Amino acid sequence: MIKIRLQRKGRIRRPIYHIVVADSRSPRDGRIIEQVGRYDGVTEKKETILNEDRIMYWLETGAQPTDSVRKILRREGLLYKRHLIMWGKSEEEIEAALAEWKAYRESKADTEVTRKEQVQASLAAEEKAMKEQVVKKAEKAAAELAAEEAVAETEEESAEAEATTEETTDEVAEEEATPEEAAEAVEEHVAEATEEPATEEVVEEESAEAEEAPAEEEAPEEEEVAEATEEPAEEAKAETEETSAQTSGDMTAKEAIEHINNTDLADLAGFVTDAEDRKTVLAAWESKQAD
């Protein structure tokens, strides 16, 4: 059987194919009957050269094209032209039909989207969506920070206003003191001056108490020992309360996972919140609950 097939030429990774007519029993690079075309789909030229008359001749004599050659002939419109000839169309009708067919193929090729273009479009869309999310998060954080600063400024202004009001009230109260109050203040000052001799009796009483004090000073030392033993327990309790008040969002993923693995399940209540979206932390929490 006569075949119309491709014969590989060219170099490694840059092949060029000859379209040849050969016996189906001959090897790929063996003896050929005739070369009827050339196909280059790799190099910069990317050209297809066909000897239409000789190909038509061999097709009419019964030569069978291989699948690869059949695709090339179909893409170049040679098989369509052969069908038009078999249907008895005139040369003018064949040329008009071929021109219409080529225009349709070119318009279709312009509208088709390749796999590479689809991947690039999807990557560009994902990158755009990611940038929009980053911008939204930054705007939200800036708005929250501005709100916190505004609240802090308002509190500072209110505190300053209250302090100013208190100072003004004290000044007004001092200015509005009546002569009677001034006289009472003078009398109290005189009374304090007359009571100073009594302080000597107080000093004597304090010296007497100081002599009796050594017997009672041992008790405070015992109280200090008790307070010293209670302070570490209170500090440990405070540290436990601070740890329990923390959530997984306040730690890195590694610290949160270590805390989950090293802490009892009963003490982890409220540690993993609904806002937690890190997969590693959620996996550690589910594993802890399963245990």
pLDDT in tens, 219-253: 444 445 445 445 544 554 445 445 456 777 778 88
Q: Which of the pair, 50 or 182, is modelled with greater confidence?
A: 50
Q: Is residue 270 very low, low, confident or very high in pLDDT (cuts 50, 70, 90)?
A: confident
**Burial of 98 per CB tally in 10 Å (0-12, 13-18, 19+):** middle
Residue 57 has a pLDDT of 92
Number of H helices, E strands in the chain: 10, 5
Taking the domain 2-111, which CATH number applies?
A: 3.30.1320.10
What is the average pLDDT value for the chain, to the nearest integer? 76
Written as one letter, the residue type at 202 is: V
Question: Domain residues of the chain, as ranges?
Answer: 2-111, 181-237, 247-291
Whether 259 contacts 286, CB under 8 Å: no
- pTM for this entry: 0.38
Q: Which of the pair, 38 or 169, is modelled with greater confidence?
A: 38
Residue 65 has a pLDDT of 92
pLDDT at 5 over 90: yes
Element (H, E) at 26: none
What mean pLDDT comes out for the span 35-62?
Answer: 88
